[in-house]
Structure 1
């Protein structure tokens, strides 16, 4: 009787360990409903109406800045596009333009990274509305050993790196790293 109880307990623990889903921290999903924050490798389209020489695309560099004519380096990392518009407007008002009208939009989001049991691991362009499943399909799909019901996603939120195991239908954000685990059976 005792050995049967031990065997059932071991089986239950094995099944629980293989279930694949563990609740990620609440901040992991809360960020999905918040405004997008800029970071390195985002490509921005900046338009200053009536100022053709200032209209251009700018890449957020590794330090988190974009370099614009007249006003030089402008901090972009961690800002929303509206906050960056305001910052550029204020800098242009300070001795360069009387009443600048600035528009900023993300031309190209930073890439997502897909690793693990996929056909072609690597970095791939982010597309609005992308899910982990879409990113895996972009990477050539699962290998025969790939765990196909959940993935581990690592994302940076407010300077902190957070990981969570989620279903493959979960949305991803620009800069996320998606890891497909190897299945045991």
Structure 2
């Protein structure tokens, strides 16, 4: 297990009682090269060191990552005063590409979380609250529900406690092994 992943596992464990520790900032780039950053919910980490998030294929995020899969994730843990910046390549999967993964992530959602995917198209005008009043059976994910896997390429870790602070750069070497270099913060 890479050193950065051991640290991330520890950070998640130390902040497990803090709901905000599951929120990360995901940045993507549109066709004109303009960056877009938003908060998403961390849903897990695969054995292949991919961060898992969910999304809607009707969203800007989906369109941007489909055309330009390069992304960056910034994750700050306020309790431990740690920051992880992950440079990633995104793979967006619908039920057509990976039915089991999409079903697994859908089934982990609460009914309130599932309901959000039936509100209507993201970013369209909301004329009244009726669009948000959804009833029904949420057993099956809608077609536009998708999973985003963010394959981690590099990790820039910053530990803000103490003086001096500690910073590490993690990347794979030519053999595919993770190596770590201490940096000046």
The higher radius of gyration belongs to 1
Provide TM-score, normalisation by structure 1.
0.28
Please state which structure has a larger fraction of its residues in strand: 2
